[in-house]
Amino acid sequence: MADDSDFTAYVAARWGALVRSAMLLGCSDPEAEDLVQTVLERCLLKWSKIQAADDRDAYVHRVLVNTFISSRRRRWFGEKPVATFADSAGHDETAAVDTTDAVMRALSRLGTEQRAAVVLRYYAHLTDQQAAVALGVAVGTVKSRLSRATKILAEDPGLTELRGQR
């Protein structure tokens, strides 16, 4: 069993970002929380190893990407039963829906590997080296995936509009 307090602190700090990373990878909102729960269960089993690793974020994101890809291959998303439903903050989502829709549409034009590289590098803010560890590929491979992906995204008309709105 891993060090509980350290693990709890890590989950508290990263839960939101990991769930949103899962959404950007292609999970629906409920799927994203279930996926991250599965990821963190797996990480808890090896927490002492992760603590000793040079970069725990890279390790956890590696588990996240692998679990996501695996769930898509199996076409089973590991829905988790919960005792109580978390209260939703009740955001007014109408303003954000266009942004989300445009970004998700643009990301869906990417391959799974390119999309994972973009999410890790530009949303999770991993370095190229960390993303390489998380994806299990060379740094050069990460750079080439990002290069191709950003080119596709740059040509996406929906994202072009968004960039002008800020």
Q: Which residues bind another protein (CB under 8 A)?
A: 1-4, 8, 11-12, 15-16, 19-20, 23-24, 29, 33, 37-38, 40-42, 44-45, 47-49, 51-52, 80, 82, 85-91, 93, 95-96, 99-100, 102-104, 118-119, 122-123, 125, 150, 153-154, 159, 162-163, 166
Backbone angles phi, psi at 125, to 5 degrees: 60, 35
Asked if residues 108 and 1 have their Cβ atoms less than 8 Å apart, the reply is no
Minimal distance, residue 165 CB to another protein, in Å: 9
Determine the residue type at 10: Y
Report the residue number, 100 or 138, with the smaller CB distance to another protein. 100
Report the residue number, 33 or 57, with the smaller CB distance to another protein. 33
Report the residue number, 118 or 131, with the smaller CB distance to another protein. 118
Asked if residues 60 and 19 have their Cβ atoms less than 8 Å apart, the reply is no
Distant-in-sequence, close-in-space partners of 112: CB < 8 Å, separation ≥ 6: 26, 69, 72
